[in-house]
Structure 1
Amino acid sequence: MKKGQQIMAKTEDVSFGYLLSDVTLLFRKHFDRRAVAFGLTRAQWRATKVLYHREGLRQTELAEFLEMEPIAVGRVIDRLQAAGFVERRPDPKDRRAWRLYVTEQSREVIGGMELIARGLRKDATQGIAHSELEQALAVIGRIKDNLLALEQADDSN
């Protein structure tokens, strides 16, 4: 290659997996640190928030919303129930199933947890224009869609 020539970069040559993982881990760490006063982890908060907006879900439905395995969601719900944030009620249409509901204790902390999440998003996006963030999220969303499509292709084989 001659001096002054540039190699054309290819999208697949850009390594970004570790960066996404690092961002996720740091976000979780800081959220958990800020939310400790409420006694909820980030995973517990996500489950509580979904149930707050969609009370009466079954555990399997909640797992789909959270994109988690049902067994892992079961452990989260067990802890939330033990701490008084969620209650299981029998499903009137299926005696083997339970429906999930938030308690008054959850309703009392929802606002505070939303403020924590909003504050962390504000701190994490400091110096980033709204348009830049929208573009980055659109790209990450497309990457997720591509990976989900791969997963579906794998499942059909």
Structure 2
Amino acid sequence: MIDNQQGPKLPRHMSFGWLIAVLGNDMANNLDGHLRKIGLNISLWPTLFALWEEDGLTQTELTNRCNTAHYTTTRLLDTLEKMELVERQPHPTSRRAHLVYLTKKGRELEVEATSLARLCNDEVLSGLSADEKELAHSLMLKIIKKRNPNMHS
């Protein structure tokens, strides 16, 4: 079928963007279901994951690493503080900035939460061989880094 204004129409299953959106939504819903069992949810995941990788980040660093809007990060940090998972401390050289640190309770969730994430990844990739998993990962990373060269890795 040809659309004279846009060229040939592709069915959804041939659209890379559609496939990524479907897979991303499926993975997010799956992880959210697992995280809820331990009192978390998918919206908190990127911030916690970034802090488990490197504690003591500024809000701006978290915003950049999580690819979220600054106001979204502020609200997420407010929620995480109320849950007693993070705390903000004054920055030693900036009067306006604060450093965000995990609390003991926040650090204690890392093993269980990342195990749940690994389980979700394993479920999604279960139909692939080890070589296919490695290839899929490297191709996704290549695409993302090409689109966002400043991505923290």
Normalised-by-shorter TM-score class = 0.7 to 0.9
Match of 1:60 in 2: 60
Name stretches of at least 5 consecutive residues in structure 2 with no aligned partner.
1-13
Which one has the bigger helix percentage?
A: 1
| Aligned counterparts of 1:144 and 1:54: Cα–Cα separation in 2 | 21
Contact kept? 1:52, 1:101, Cα under 8 Å: no
Match of 1:120 in 2: 120
CA-atom RMSD in angstroms: 1.7
Name stretches of at least 5 consecutive residues in structure 1 with no aligned partner.
1-13, 150-157
Which stretches of structure 1, 4 residues or longer, exceed 3 Å deviation after superposition?
145-149
Match of 1:15 in 2: 15
Q: Which has the larger radius of gyration?
A: 1
| Aligned counterparts of 1:142 and 1:108: Cα–Cα separation in 2 | 32
Aligned letter for 1:94? Answer: S
The number of residue pairs the alignment matches comes to 136
How far is 1:145 from its partner?
A: 3.7
Q: Normalising by structure 1, what TM-score?
A: 0.79
Match of 2:10 in 1: none
| Aligned counterparts of 2:42 and 2:96: Cα–Cα separation in 1 | 29
Match of 1:154 in 2: none
How far is 1:146 from its partner?
A: 4.1
Percent of pairs with identical residues: 27
Assess, with a 3 A threshold, how the Cα gap between structure 1 residues 111 and 94 changes in structure 2: closer, same or farther.
Answer: same
